[in-house]
């Protein structure tokens, strides 16, 4: 913006300067002007002219090359700084008289910033900041000046200018985002960032990173500008940008620690954990005191594990996850450009490793295809390589299902050949198996059957880290492809026919995730109502005498089941009436043969009906089954009536026996095809109805509750609080490709359970740490002697009075012992020895 020069020095200004008040009167005059602005207009004009004359005098002294540390120059500089601060304080009350004050202060800083004395420079910067805060001048007009002030070499001024820019932009975007002003300010900072001068670019980059961490400028423009800083000619700017991209999440946790703690507190106050009242009641009221304590401890562990899982799922969900690399406009171009710079640069090893990690992170997040990256990694895959776990973590991060397996296969084979063999150290074998597991989790097609069988044999290793890594590999392939495992190692997988997806195959979602839980919930409610009605019917049947066969058949739902019931009734009656003669037995056998013929005819009719299932509707099937059951029921009524008449058992009242239920089960097996037809038709009808169904907010809430209940049930089953639940599906949950791409591979996880050899200093430190809480050694007997209190249980047991029978037995035993002792003492020789 154009700067206005200070007016020329005139006699009037000199007289005004001599008439003006002394510096020690300025604070008093400032307070009076704020109370009564109109009454002190003349004094303000005099002081303004005095300020202009001081500026002119200072410029003349600077032109004559006089040192500012001399007596006259020092006095002029101090007086000029005090007047600048005074006029900045009263500027809001005299907008017309002091309209050119920002231009005068800004012009003085713009032209002579490096030549000003430090005290005067700091006072002028404070005055200009005060004018910006009072909204007398816009931040956009002074932004370039504040950026220049940060590179003049004055630490106090640099700190003032930096904090002023940050707080002004934060205050501007506190209530709402002002995109127009933000875009102007961003253009100024981006221009400084793209400059080749390192000092200016560094200050601009620092401001952008600070505003981004504070979530003030949290947009794509700022993110892409920070990422473009990776290609700055200065290596320091490039390293700073790469470190920001890699350590963004850690820096964000440190900056927003209070926000994270508050969110965790809210999550703990309102957890989505649904435990049944029955489980809580059992843990608090059933069993002994010790068992209740154990159940309560298990219940608390379940709650903690569920909270941890929910917090982890929220962190891994796409809504809350953020990384600056996710907002790259041209991710493929960014990765290729940074990789070409990596191949050409001569930076130290740590810098190249950071560049590798950024490239791998970008490839994994955006599912890029950079085929030259994997042969480049292959050169460094050696067990003796420095920071090899970091390198392997980058290799794992760069693998995803869109990369051709042929491109990664040489790298994969080298990892196996270099790390996993019999002559390798246990640490290297464990790291190699963990890397193989992580790569196969992202690209299952890399593994073949022979290699997997060789790697699985390491589960018998005596080293804990190696055996755990091998077992984790077995667990993974039990989930994704159990057929590659040997039958002995395969176990009982959840899905025995599971296969990995072919290269390029994409799974398209055909329904809402979790919608099947709603169907199961509805079906369980219907089954519950049916079971209640069945229980009511069964109670009636058990309480009442058995009805005639015809009524029983009407209550049953299958014609075949009715026939089997009738046959078994006749057989039981034959066994009960052996004394009636052979004639009745022959009649019964004839009846049985006739019924068998009828069953065969009915089976043939049913088979014919199943062949015509494509042409008939479900309603026709139901009608036919009902009509058939009525006809057969009437036939069986006639047969049973004849049998009852022949036996004369009208007055007998019998209850249903176990054979009746066995017959019903056999009949259900016989009519399995008809039941399958009905179930398939109903399922197709339900699925056709569900495809056009629109889920409401209540349905989604219900799905969330059902998921929480299912997780709670599995967690309780895993901790042994409930039984009868299949926990195999909860042992390992295969993450999706998006979750794997968002997840950072920690190098420490690749060397988990590896026991490192401690140095002597570390061992001594561990020993001393164990001695801190331990008291001075005292003998156990001394502790017992110093005991102040009652007797111990052992002492009380000794003093306990025995019952009468035990007392008499003890007395008899002592008498016998004395008698034997006297007997032995009489046979002993008490005289002189017979030998010498």
| 3-class DSSP state of 428 | helix
Task: Enter the CATH code of domain 25-62+75-254.
Answer: 1.25.40
Q: Which residues of 300-313 are buried (b: 16+ CB within 10 A; e: fewer)?
A: eebeeebbeebeee
Q: What mean pLDDT do residues 704-726 have?
A: 71
Q: What's CA 311's distance to the chain center, in Å?
A: 6
Residue with tokens 């009519």, as numbered in its chain: 671
What pLDDT, on a 0 to 100 scale, did the predictor assign at position 229? 93
Residue 363: both structure tokens together? 């490839």
What pLDDT, on a 0 to 100 scale, did the predictor assign at position 494? 73
680 pLDDT tier (thresholds 50, 70, 90): low
Among the listed residues 188, 187, 203, the one whose alpha carbon sits nearest the alpha carbon of residue 150? 203
Q: Are 203 and 162 in contact (CB under 8 A)?
A: yes
511 pLDDT tier (thresholds 50, 70, 90): confident
What pLDDT, on a 0 to 100 scale, did the predictor assign at position 257? 44
Q: What's CA 632's distance to the chain center, in Å?
A: 62
Alpha-carbon span 744 to 358, nearest angstrom? 11
By CB atoms closer than 10 A (0-12, 13-18, 19+), residue 53 is: buried
What pLDDT, on a 0 to 100 scale, did the predictor assign at position 272? 52
526-550 pLDDT per residue, tens: 666 555 555 444 444 433 333 444 4
pTM over 0.85: no
210 pLDDT tier (thresholds 50, 70, 90): very high
By CB atoms closer than 10 A (0-12, 13-18, 19+), residue 544 is: exposed
Q: Are 636 and 552 in contact (CB under 8 A)?
A: no
Is the pLDDT confidence value at 629 over 70? no
User: Which stretch, 515-524, 544-553, 650-659, 734-743, has highest mean pLDDT?
Assistant: 734-743
Instruction: Count CA atoms closer than 13 A to 438's CA, side-chain side.
Output: 26
Phi-psi region of 728 (alpha: psi -120 to 50; beta: other; left: phi over 0): alpha
Task: Count the Cβ atoms, other than its own, within 10 Å of residue 14.
Answer: 14
Alpha-carbon span 215 to 212, nearest angstrom? 5
Is the pLDDT confidence value at 461 over 70? yes
How many residues in the chain?
Answer: 836
- Helix, strand and coil content of the chain, in percent to the nearest 5, comes to 70, 0, 30
What pLDDT, on a 0 to 100 scale, did the predictor assign at position 626? 37
What pLDDT, on a 0 to 100 scale, did the predictor assign at position 704? 81
Alpha-carbon span 290 to 283, nearest angstrom? 11
Task: Count the Cβ atoms, other than its own, within 10 Å of residue 702.
Answer: 16
Alpha-carbon span 386 to 349, nearest angstrom? 9
Higher pLDDT, 679 or 585: 679
Task: Count the Cβ atoms, other than its own, within 10 Å of residue 609.
Answer: 18
Among the listed residues 58, 49, 57, 63, the one whose alpha carbon sits nearest the alpha carbon of residue 119? 58
Q: Which residues contact 267 (CB under 8 A, 6 or more apart)?
A: 307, 310, 311, 314
Is the pLDDT confidence value at 395 over 90? yes
Helices 179-193 and 198-213: crossing angle in degrees, nearest 10, is: 140
Alpha-carbon span 585 to 170, nearest angstrom? 103
Is the pLDDT confidence value at 829 over 70? no
Helices 426-442 and 388-397: crossing angle in degrees, nearest 10, is: 10
Task: Count the Cβ atoms, other than its own, within 10 Å of residue 130.
Answer: 18
Mean per-residue pLDDT over the chain, rounded: 74
727 pLDDT tier (thresholds 50, 70, 90): low
Mean pLDDT is lowest, of 222-226, 331-335, 521-525, 648-652, for 648-652
What pLDDT, on a 0 to 100 scale, did the predictor assign at position 399? 94
Q: Are 426 and 402 in contact (CB under 8 A)?
A: no
Q: What's CA 274's distance to the chain center, in Å?
A: 19
The share of the chain scoring above pLDDT 70, in percent, equals 66
Q: What mean pLDDT do residues 88-115 have?
A: 88
What pLDDT, on a 0 to 100 scale, did the predictor assign at position 507? 77
User: Which stretch, 53-67, 100-114, 287-301, 354-368, has highest mean pLDDT?
Assistant: 354-368
Residue 202: both structure tokens together? 């560094």
Among the listed residues 126, 107, 129, 1, the one whose alpha carbon sits nearest the alpha carbon of residue 58? 107
Q: Which residues contact 440 (CB under 8 A, 6 or more apart)?
A: 446, 447, 473, 476, 477, 480
Q: Which residues contact 426 (CB under 8 A, 6 or more apart)?
A: 461, 463, 465, 466, 754
The share of the chain scoring above pLDDT 90, in percent, equals 31
745 pLDDT tier (thresholds 50, 70, 90): confident
Mean pLDDT is lowest, of 23-27, 58-62, 259-263, for 259-263
Q: Are 68 and 77 in contact (CB under 8 A)?
A: yes
Q: What is the DSSP string of 379-393?
A: TT--TTSTTHHHHHH
376-388 pLDDT per residue, tens: 999 999 999 999 9
Alpha-carbon span 737 to 729, nearest angstrom? 19
| 3-class DSSP state of 516 | helix
Residue 254: both structure tokens together? 């440190």
Higher pLDDT, 120 or 282: 120
432 pLDDT tier (thresholds 50, 70, 90): very high
What pLDDT, on a 0 to 100 scale, did the predictor assign at position 358? 94
Alpha-carbon span 7 to 604, nearest angstrom? 119
Alpha-carbon span 193 to 229, nearest angstrom? 8
Q: Which helix (H) or strand (E) holds 540?
A: helix 515-543
Alpha-carbon span 559 to 664, nearest angstrom? 10
Residue 747: both structure tokens together? 């190098």
Compute the chain's Rg from CA coordinates.
46
Among the listed residues 557, 574, 575, the one whose alpha carbon sits nearest the alpha carbon of residue 667? 557
Residue with tokens 């929480």, as numbered in its chain: 708
- The vertex-514 CA angle with 510 and 515, nearest 5°, equals 65
What pLDDT, on a 0 to 100 scale, did the predictor assign at position 274? 57
Q: What is the signed CA dihedral for 721, 313, 308, 479, rounded to 10 degrees? A: 50
Q: Please state the φ and ψ torsions of residue 347, each to the nearest 5 degrees.
A: -75, 170
Instruction: Compute CA distances 733 → 222, 472, 656, whole Å.
Output: 37, 12, 49
Is the pLDDT confidence value at 258 over 60? no
In the chain, how many H helices and how many E strands?
A: 40, 0
Residue 171: both structure tokens together? 């205050």
* β strands within 200-266, DSSP E: none
DSSP state of 578: G
Alpha-carbon span 570 to 151, nearest angstrom? 109
Task: Count the Cβ atoms, other than its own, within 10 Å of residue 372.
Answer: 11
What pLDDT, on a 0 to 100 scale, did the predictor assign at position 639? 46
Q: What's CA 227's distance to the chain center, in Å?
A: 27
Is the pLDDT confidence value at 832 over 70? no
Delimit the domains of the chain by residue range.
25-62+75-254, 277-312, 371-494+729-754
Q: Which helix (H) or strand (E) holds 485?
A: none
């Amino acid at each position: 913006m154009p700067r206005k020069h200070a007016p020329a020095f005139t006699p009037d200004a000199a007289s005004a300067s001599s008439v003006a008040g002394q510096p020690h009167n300025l604070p008093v005059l400032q307070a009076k002007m704020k109370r009564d602005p109109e009454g002190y207009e003349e004094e303000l004009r005099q002081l303004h002219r005095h300020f202009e004359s001081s500026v002119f005098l200072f410029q003349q002294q600077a032109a004559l090359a006089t040192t500012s540390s001399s007596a006259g120059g020092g006095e002029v500089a101090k007086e000029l700084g005090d007047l600048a601060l005074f006029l900045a304080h009263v500027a809001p009350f005299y907008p017309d008289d002091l309209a050119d004050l920002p231009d005068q202060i800004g012009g003085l800083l713009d032209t002579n910033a490096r030549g000003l004395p430090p005290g005067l420079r700091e006072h002028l910067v404070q005055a200009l900041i005060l004018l910006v805060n009072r909204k007398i001048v816009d931040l956009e007009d002074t932004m370039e000046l504040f950026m220049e002030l940060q590179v003049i070499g004055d630490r106090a001024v640099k700190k003032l200018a930096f904090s002023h820019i940050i707080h002004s932009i934060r205050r501007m975007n506190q209530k709402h985002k002002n995109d127009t002003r933000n875009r102007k300010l961003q253009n100024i900072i981006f221009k400084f960032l793209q400059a080749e001068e390192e000092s200016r670019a560094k200050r601009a980059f620092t401001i952008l990173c600070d505003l981004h961490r504070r979530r003030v400028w949290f947009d794509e423009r700022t993110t892409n500008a920070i990422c473009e800083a990776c290609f700055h000619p200065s290596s320091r700017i490039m390293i700073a940008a790469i470190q920001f991209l890699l350590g963004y999440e850690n820096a964000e946790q440190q900056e927003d620690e209070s926000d994270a703690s508050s969110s965790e507190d809210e999550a703990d106050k309102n957890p989505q954990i649904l435990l049944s009242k029955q489980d809580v009641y059992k843990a608090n009221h059933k069993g002994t005191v010790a068992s209740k304590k154990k159940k309560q401890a298990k219940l608390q562990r379940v709650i903690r594990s569920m909270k941890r899982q929910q917090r982890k799922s929220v962190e891994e969900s796409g809504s809350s996850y953020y990384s600056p690399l996710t907002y790259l406009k041209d991710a493929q171009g960014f990765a290729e450009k940074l990789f070409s710079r990596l191949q050409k640069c001569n930076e130290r090893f740590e810098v190249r490793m950071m560049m590798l990690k950024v490239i791998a992170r970008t490839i994994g997040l955006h599912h890029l295809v950079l085929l030259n990256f994997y042969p480049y990694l292959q050169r460094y895959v050696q067990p003796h390589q420095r920071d090899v776990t970091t390198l392997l973590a980058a290799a794992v991060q760069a693998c995803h299902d869109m990369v051709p397996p042929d491109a990664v296969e040489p790298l994969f084979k080298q990892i196996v050949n270099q790390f996993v063999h019999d002559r390798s150290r246990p640490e290297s074998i464990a790291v190699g198996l963990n890397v193989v597991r992580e790569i196969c989790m992202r690209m299952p097609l890399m593994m073949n059957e022979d290699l997997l069988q060789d790697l699985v044999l390491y589960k018998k290793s005596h080293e804990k880290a190696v055996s755990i890594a091998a077992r984790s590999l077995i667990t993974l392939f039990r989930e994704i492809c159990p057929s590659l495992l040997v039958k002995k190692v395969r176990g009982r997988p959840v899905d025995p026919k599971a296969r990995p997806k072919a290269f390029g195959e994409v799974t398209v979602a055909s329904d809402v995730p979790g919608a099947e839980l709603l169907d199961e919930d509805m079906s369980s409610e219907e089954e519950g109502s049916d079971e209640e009605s069945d229980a009511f019917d069964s109670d009636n049947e058990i309480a009442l005498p058995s009805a005639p066969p015809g009524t029983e058949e009407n209550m049953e739902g299958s014609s075949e089941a009715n026939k089997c019931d009738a046959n078994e009734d006749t057989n039981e009656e034959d066994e009960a009436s052996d004394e009636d003669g052979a004639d009745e037995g022959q009649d019964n056998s004839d009846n049985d043969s006739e019924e068998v013929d009828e069953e065969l005819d009915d089976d043939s009719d049913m088979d014919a009906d199943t062949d015509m299932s494509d042409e008939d509707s479900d309603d026709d099937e139901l009608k036919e089954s009902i009509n058939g059951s009525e006809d057969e029921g009437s036939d069986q009524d006639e047969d049973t009536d004849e049998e009852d008449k022949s036996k004369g058992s009208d007055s007998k009242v019998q209850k249903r026996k176990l054979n009746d239920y066995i017959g019903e089960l056999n009949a259900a097996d016989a009519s399995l095809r008809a039941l399958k037809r009905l179930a398939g038709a109903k399922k197709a009808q339900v699925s056709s109805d569900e495809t056009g169904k629109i889920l409401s907010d209540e349905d989604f809430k219900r799905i969330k509750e059902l998921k929480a209940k299912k997780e709670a049930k599995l967690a309780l089953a895993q901790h042994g609080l409930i039984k009868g639940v299949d926990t195999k599906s909860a042992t390992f949950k295969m993450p999706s490709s998006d979750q794997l791409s968002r997840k950072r591979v920690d190098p420490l996880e690749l060397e988990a359970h590896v026991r490192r050899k401690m140095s002597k200093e570390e061992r001594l430190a561990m020993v001393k740490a164990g001695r801190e809480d331990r008291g001075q050694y005292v003998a156990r007997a001394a502790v017992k002697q110093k005991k102040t209190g009652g007797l111990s249980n052992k002492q009380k047991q000794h003093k306990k009075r025995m019952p009468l029978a035990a007392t008499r037995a003890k007395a008899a035993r002592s008498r016998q012992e004395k008698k034997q002792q006297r007997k032995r003492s009489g046979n002993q020789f008490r005289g002189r020895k017979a030998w010498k």
